[in-house]
Structure 1
Amino acid sequence: MKRNIFENISPLDHRYSLRENEFNDYSTYLSEKSKVKYQAQVELALVKALAKRDMCSTTVVEEVETAIEELTTEEVYAEEKKTKHNIRALVNSIQAKVSDEAKPFIHFTTTSFDIVDTANSLRYKKAAEELILPTLKELEKLLMNIALREKDTVQVGRTHGQHAVPVTFGFSIAEYVSRLGNRIQEIEAKSEQLKGKIAGAVGAYNASHLFFEDPESFEADVLNELDLEASSHSTQIVEPEYMTDFVHSLVSTFGVIANFSDDMRNLQRSEIAEVGEHFGEDQVGSSTMPHKRNPINYENVKSMWKEFMPRMMTLYQDQISEHQRDLTNSASSRFIPELIVGLLASVNRLIRVSKKLVVDHENIQKNFDQNKEMIVAEPLYILLASYDHPDAHEAVRKLTLEAEEKDKTLRELVVEKEELKPYVEKFNDKQKKLLTNPAKYIGIASEKTEKVVEKYADELDIELSI
């Protein structure tokens, strides 16, 4: 039956996953169907490890493998209606498809959360490797190309919402190249650290020790089938910090793209208008003001961040589990996939927008020109101080006030002030040029942009288009 997205409850389904290819990508790792599939893979890995130790035959492995290929989420849920237990339902559903010889080896010596925690670590690790990281790297590459393209575009710097000394637009974008690149590396590291367990009901290997002198080595055998390692200590659950750290890496990444979106949204303000989103021919910006072109995509990303960022608090709360385990994380942990989808939907939105980002060079220049003469205040004060002026900051502060009062430039006033001539005459040619051309006062913004892009292109193995 075709999926009717408008009968779903979550806006992640009926509003933010409308693109079929993206929905299918998310579903591969984050749907309920995928969760059951990965849990079944853990049960299969258990049987494979038992066969390698001659506890069961390879025929049993083949039976179980076939059974889980045929397994459907619907039948597991139907079984859960009877058992009132999701993993027992999974086990019963697999056992119903295999011979009596194979049945005893399914779920052998394990507890439910050997399966649940190991499957979650496995699918989130796979999702990070095959979906999250490639998507983030696509956005990172776009930002790198914009940064390099605009590395020499002089832009007024802004601190506290006020014009500061100049940077370049490429330098502004390079901030996010660096921050996002750092988060990509963090996600990669934390996803690799996700752990599994096959340690039984309280983590002490009580059941597996009945059969194996070294149950930890058996645990390692099972997890090796899944390319996972065991937590250094387990109770009924894997130590929660591994998952907490992984989700934190995602949430902090969400913060980076939300900050980027906020910057781009503010640069689209009518009175600034330095960048713009591509606007479709039939797109409407306001229900009553036909002329408006709202920065809806950047606003959406920040709005999504506001929804999902607070969920990190739930992960911190899930660190707490009484004694060997309580059930207070059983519901809350099921919502981690929503957070991942929220992040991916926002990243994919920024990918689409960034491909069509419009930079208005005329407005960037116009905004710079508004206060370019006052920009001279910083290098002037520093240069005067360097040549032993006793109170350079105060002298320049008074000059700025006089410039505003007399509608003159700082440079004009400096020439007029006899008391400053002994110091100004000591300026070298480079220093004099900075005062006569404020647009040159950009430090190493262009070079730094290149350096940042090269660093992360190399470390993340990204091939640039420019």
Structure 2
Amino acid sequence: MPSAETSAPAVSSEQLRVRLADVEPQIALGALDGRYRRDAAPLVDHLSEAALNRNRVHVEIEWFIHLCVEQVLDGLPPLSAEQIDELRGIVSEFGAEEIAELAEIEAETVHDVKAVEYFIARRLQGLGLGELTPLVHFACTSEDINNLSYAVGIRDAVEQVWLPAARTALDGLSALAEAAAEVPMLSRTHGQPATPSTLGKEIAVFVHRLSRQMRRIEAQEYLGKINGATGTYAAHLAAAPTADWPGIAERFVQRLGLTFNPLTTQIESHDWQAELYADIARFNRILHGLCVDIWSYISIGFFRQIPVAGATGSSTMPHKVNPIRFENAEANLEVSNALLDVLASTLVESRWQRDLTDSSGQRNIGTALGHSILALNNVTKGLRQLDVAEDVIAADLDANWEVLGEAIQTVMRAEAIAGTPGMDSPYERLKELTRGRRVDQQKLREFVDGLGLSEQASSRLRELTPAKYTGLAAQLAGEHARR
């Protein structure tokens, strides 16, 4: 007969419901703003909605100053150095109160860029520049401000946050490649025992590949435009027909530290963004391959994981230390690439002179980079917890003497060319000896001794072991372990 406890109904979903959305501080929906906030936090300064608005204020203020400095309109008074500093102070002092004020203005305008214009206009009055309010957002469409604001934010996010995280991870990988440069290791091609290498050389391959991608990202151009509603400078010329507006625009974009795009529709075409996201996604994919390889090396014992004091490796199996850093990195690289691939493919398209699909799309840039940074940080931490198990690697090598069959048949080919008799069918003879069976040192030496090789060739092969059959691997690792 069931007890009262077992017969009682389960807790209902209604009873389980908690108004988490009302909890203060508010509970995050996304992992980057919740569990992984610490890793993604540096991006907030560059790619959050608040950062976008600050950058819009920055671009609007600089355009205001630029128009005054260039004296594009009759009657524009010159700005003093003090006035320019005060104008730029609107940007440097942008904080929580300003964010809230902008939100209130946008609630009325129902337009984010227009809200920025009104926000700046309010401050001009306080600076004694109220008569110049019409110069704010002069001859601009929203995309003139947005494309430059995004370019500044993305540039700074990549250069100040993503690239430093990538360099740190790559430094750790380089150190591992150097430390293991001379550690002989059985290679596996198609998952099968193959010609030995060194662990350091195999890690250096990833260092080399990732370094190439990083150099592409470091050389990225960040483009911008400020040419009006359809890219024709029509309003500019209507107001100031004698001004060199393309030249004015180019100088302004370059002053922001960006590359000028001279020909666009209403929007800057975002091609540079697609290029950047494709490069970061490719970097991510190579890093994903590294995580898979290291996970696999851990699984066969080539690496021991250094336990973290007090950490639990498994909830039920005390002996385990799970490779969670590399698994976490894999998952976040996949999420990052899903977003980067969508952004790279969709941002290059726009209906006729402009549609608004890019507006929602670009708001996910921070999330895409955030998952990549989270992965990079996990790789960095995971690498620090690895210890090379040279004894396991050596035992694996010693159990696979048949990999020397390649060396023997290649020496036989060379001997045949040199005129040594009895060197016919070298590949086939080694295949018969080694395929599908384990061959130990003694059997290989007996085979070599019966070939009739020259004394020099015979001596080289008799001294060869799987651990010594690594070619130039150690040298290559030493040359390419550093990015």
TM-score, normalised relative to structure 1:
0.88
Q: Which of residues 304, 321, 332 is equivalent to 1:293?
A: 321
CA distance in 2, matches of 1:120, 1:38: 8
* Count of aligned positions: 439
Q: Select which of 381, 404, 407 maps to 1:352.
A: 381
Distance apart, 1:229 and its partner CA: 2.1
* Alignment equivalent of 1:217, drawn from 242, 247, 268: 247
The change in CA–CA distance for 1:221 and 1:151 in structure 2 (over 3 A counts) is same
2:330 corresponds to which residue?
302
Match of 1:231 in 2: 261
403 and 255 in structure 1: CA distance in 2 versus 1, 3 angstrom threshold: closer
C-alpha displacement of 1:432: 4.4
1:115 equivalent among 145, 150, 153: 145
Alignment of 1:233-312 (within 5 A): 233-269=263-299, 272-312=300-340
> Residue deviations 1:186-221, cap 9 Å, x none?
11112xx11011111111111222325321111022
Please report the TM-score for the alignment, with normalisation by the length of structure 2: 0.85
| 1:129-208 superposed matches below 5 A | 129-190=159-220, 193-208=221-236
Q: Is the 8 A contact 1:142 1:355 kept in 2?
A: yes
The answer to whether the 8 A contact 1:403-1:409 is kept is no
Tell me the secondary structure at the aligned position of residue 291 of structure 1: coil
Cα distance in 2 for residues equivalent to 1:410 and 1:46: 81
> Structure 1 pair 283/6, CA: closer, same or farther in 2 (3 Å)?
farther
Tell me which residue corresponds to 2:397. 368
Which of 98, 102, 120 is the equivalent residue of 1:76?
102
- Is the CA contact (8 Å cut-off) linking 1:203 and 1:236 kept in structure 2? yes
Partner residue, 2:79: 58
The alignment status of 1:412 with 2:438, answered yes or no, reads no
- SS of 1:358's equivalent in the other structure is strand
Conserved 8 A contact 1:274-1:363:
yes
The 1:53/1:401 distance shift into structure 2, 3 A limit, reads: closer
* Counterpart pick for 2:479 among 448, 451, 454: 451
**For residues 70 and 281 of structure 1, do their structure 2 counterparts lie closer, same or farther at Cα, with a shift above 3 Å needed?**
closer
Q: Per the alignment, do residues 402 and 355 of structure 1 end up closer, same or farther by CA in structure 2, a change over 3 Å counting?
A: closer
Instruction: Please tell me whether residue 314 in structure 1 is matched to residue 342 in structure 2.
Output: yes
Taking the aligned partners of 2:26 and 2:32, their CA distance within structure 1 comes to 11
Distance 2:260 2:410 in 1: 58
Mapped partners of 1:401, 1:264: distance in 2: 28
Q: Paired residue for 1:395, among 429, 443, 446?
A: 429
Unaligned runs of 5+ residues in structure 1 are 457-466
Residue 14 (structure 1) aligned to one of 26, 34, 37: 34
Structure 2 counterpart of 1:188, which letter?
E
* Amino acid across the alignment from 2:367: E
Q: 1:326 to 1:368 in 2, by over 3 A?
A: same
Task: Report the counterpart of residue 30 of structure 1 in structure 2.
Answer: 47
Q: Cα RMSD between the aligned structures?
A: 2.2
Deviation of 1:382 after TM superposition, in Å, equals 1.0
1:64–1:94: 8 Å Cα contact kept in structure 2?
A: no
Classify 1:401/1:230 alpha carbon distance in 2 versus 1 (closer, same or farther; 3 Å). Answer: closer
Q: Could you tell me which amino acid in structure 2 is paired with residue 75 of structure 1?
A: E
Cα-to-partner distance string for 1:222-263 (whole Å, 9 max, x where unaligned): 213211121132111112211100111111111122111111
User: Distance in 1 between the 2:196 and 2:160 partners?
Assistant: 40
Deviations 1:62-86 (A, max 9, x none): 5533434454222222222222211
Partner SS, residue 398 of structure 1: helix
Instruction: Name the stretch that deviates more: 376-385 or 129-138.
Output: 129-138
Q: Runs of 5+ in structure 2 lacking a partner?
A: 1-22, 417-422
- Return the letter of the residue paired with 2:116: L
Equivalent AA in structure 2 for residue 96 of structure 1: R
CA shift in 2, pair 1:407/1:387, >3 Å: closer
d(CA) in 2 for partners of 1:171 and 1:158? 14
Instruction: Decide which of 61, 70, 81 is 1:44's aligned counterpart.
Output: 61
Structure 2 equivalent of residue 67 of structure 1? 90
Out of 339, 359, 369, which is 2:368 matched to? 339
Give distance in 2, aligned partners of 1:109 and 1:242.
25
In structure 2, what is the Cα distance between the partners aligned to 1:256 and 1:217? 42
CA distance in 1, matches of 2:132, 2:91: 13
C-alpha distance after superposition, 1:243-292 (max 9, x if no partner): 100111111111122111111111111xx111133322322222222222
User: Larger Cα Rg: Structure 1 or Structure 2?
Assistant: 2
Distance in 2 between the 1:331 and 1:205 partners? 26
CA distance in 1, matches of 2:448, 2:70: 90
Q: Matched residues in 2 for 1:407 and 1:301: separation?
A: 40
Q: Distance in 2 between matches of 1:410 and 1:189?
A: 56
Letter in 1 for 2:397: F
Q: Deviations over 1:323-353 (max 9, x none)?
A: 1111122211210111111111111222222
Q: Note the alpha carbon deviations across 1:431-450, whole angstroms, 9 max, x for none.
A: 5433xx22111111111111
3-state secondary structure, aligned to 1:164: strand
User: Does the 8 Å CA contact 2:335/2:368 hold for their aligned counterparts?
Assistant: no
Cα shift at 1:390: 3.2
